[in-house]
Copies of this chain bind each other. A is one copy, B any other.
Amino acid sequence: MPPRPLGVAMIGYEFMGRAHSNSWRNVDAFFDVPHFERRVIVGRDADRVEAAASQLGWPEWATDWREAIARDDVDIVDICAPGWLHAEIAIAALAAGKHVLVEKPLSNTLAESAAMVDAARAARLAGVQSMIGFNYRRVPALALARQLIADGRLGDVRQVRASYLQDWLTDAEAPMTWRLRRETAGSGSLGDIASHVIDQVMHLLGDTVTEVSGRLHTYTTERPGPDGPEAVTVDDAAWATLGLAGGAIASVEVSRVALGAKNSLRLEIYGSAGSLRFDLERLNELEFLDGNEPLQTQGFRRIVVTEPEHPYLSGWWPQGHVLGWEHSHTHQIRDFLLHIASGTAPEPSFESGLAVQQVLDAIEQSAASNGTIISI
């Protein structure tokens, strides 16, 4: 640890850049973390990054990420740039001895991700930490879910129903964007939101996916582009079943055309001794059924996850004062900083990010093979 505050550089200033900046601005007001200072935000467009620095609370801005990661007063690099830049920046930053937090997906290709994992492993030996931003692991209700499962409250988990439904592509006349082109986006709902779901399944169960069957579908195959109608080359929706090493089977369903579902990541986990239900649209709540209760009083209980006894909550407000979506990012930054301070490896690691990508890749392969099960 340097004998001065940890210096932070942020790469990117769009949606995720705003969310991460919010966390850097606030984390030490709520949690006891190592001393740090925001140093610089980096973006390609000088005007926009200057405005972002001012709005998001960064004292300096820059347009060259290489310069930023070369600075002696920068110890942490937080990468919120587009996915196709992740590998290059992360590998360079790790090589420069900087701790790296990278937004999901780890990268846009398996090959790049594998290289990032190699870089992360090497850096870790040198005490340089790395982490991927599956922020939903730090939603308190999901952190509580993980605890309950780890404590055996569900017994053997058998069946998981996992879905992530949105509706922003419902309108068939909505215009073409980079998110709907395979070459820029990699994939559609699969990479964007199924990735979160699959990370949750593996993380909550503490298990790995061994085989998958998948299906992809594009409901609106052509949309208005800048030069007339243009083919949509990514999926609107995806389905999969996942076999896990421990014997559980998980179903996955994601969509961008589920009209009325705004940001609904839902999980249902059925075990031999207990069950859980969760919906991200009500992220302060976890439903838990204890199968050891007498049937007379057995039922899903709605836990309002806002007690000081709950994960992360002691840092915030009194009970019943609910948290929002962005708080999961603040918890992520907190844990990242604590791991840096203690010299331990934070989770989710780059390896976790690669594992999710391997599952996504297998789903695509299966979908391209008429749904046949693919082993991983």
> Does A372 belong to the interface (CB within 8 Å)?
yes
Q: CB-CB contacts of A291-310 with B at 8 A, as 1s and 0s?
A: 10011111111111011011
> Does A332 belong to the interface (CB within 8 Å)?
no
> Does A271 belong to the interface (CB within 8 Å)?
yes
Bound-state Cα–Cα, A67 to B301, Å: 53
A219-B158 contact given A260-B300, A291-B259, A319-B262, CB 8 Å threshold: yes
CB pair B253 A251 closer than 8 Å: yes
CB pair A25 B19 closer than 8 Å: no
> Does A202 belong to the interface (CB within 8 Å)?
no
> Does A356 belong to the interface (CB within 8 Å)?
no
Bound-state Cα–Cα, A325 to B283, Å: 13
Q: Which residues A71-104 have CB closer than 8 A to chain B?
A: none
The contact of A19 among B161, B237, B317, by CB within 8 Å, is B317
CB pair A237 B249 closer than 8 Å: yes
Bound-state Cα–Cα, A167 to B371, Å: 28
CB pair A325 B317 closer than 8 Å: yes
A309-B327 contact given A251-B251, A370-B373, CB 8 Å threshold: no
CB pair A260 B270 closer than 8 Å: yes
Interface size class of A (residues with CB under 8 A): 35 or more
CB pair B320 A272 closer than 8 Å: no
CB pair B159 A258 closer than 8 Å: yes
One of A4-12, A119-127, A274-282, A335-343 contacting the partner? A274-282
Q: Which residues A226-269 have CB closer than 8 A to chain B?
A: 237, 239, 241, 247, 249, 251, 253, 255, 257-264, 268
**Copies assembled:** 4
A326-B320 contact given A29-B57, A295-B307, A300-B301, CB 8 Å threshold: no
CB pair B324 A322 closer than 8 Å: yes
CB pair A217 B249 closer than 8 Å: yes
Bound-state Cα–Cα, A318 to B325, Å: 11
CB pair A172 B296 closer than 8 Å: no
> Does A323 belong to the interface (CB within 8 Å)?
yes
Shortest C-beta distance, A205 to chain B (Å), equals 15
Bound-state Cα–Cα, A259 to B153, Å: 13
Bound-state Cα–Cα, A241 to B214, Å: 10
Name the residue on B nearest A371 (C-beta): B213
Q: CB-CB contacts of A28-52 with B at 8 A, as 1s and 0s?
A: 1100000000000000000000000
Q: CB-CB contacts of A45-72 with B at 8 A, as 1s and 0s?
A: 0000000000111000000000000000
Q: Taking each of A251, A310, A320, A323, which has the highest tally of chain B beta carbons within 10 Å of its own beta carbon?
A: A320
A-B contact pairs, 15 of them (CB 8 A): A22-B26, A213-B371, A215-B241, A219-B247, A258-B275, A259-B271, A260-B270, A260-B275, A260-B289, A263-B318, A281-B322, A295-B307, A297-B301, A301-B302, A321-B326
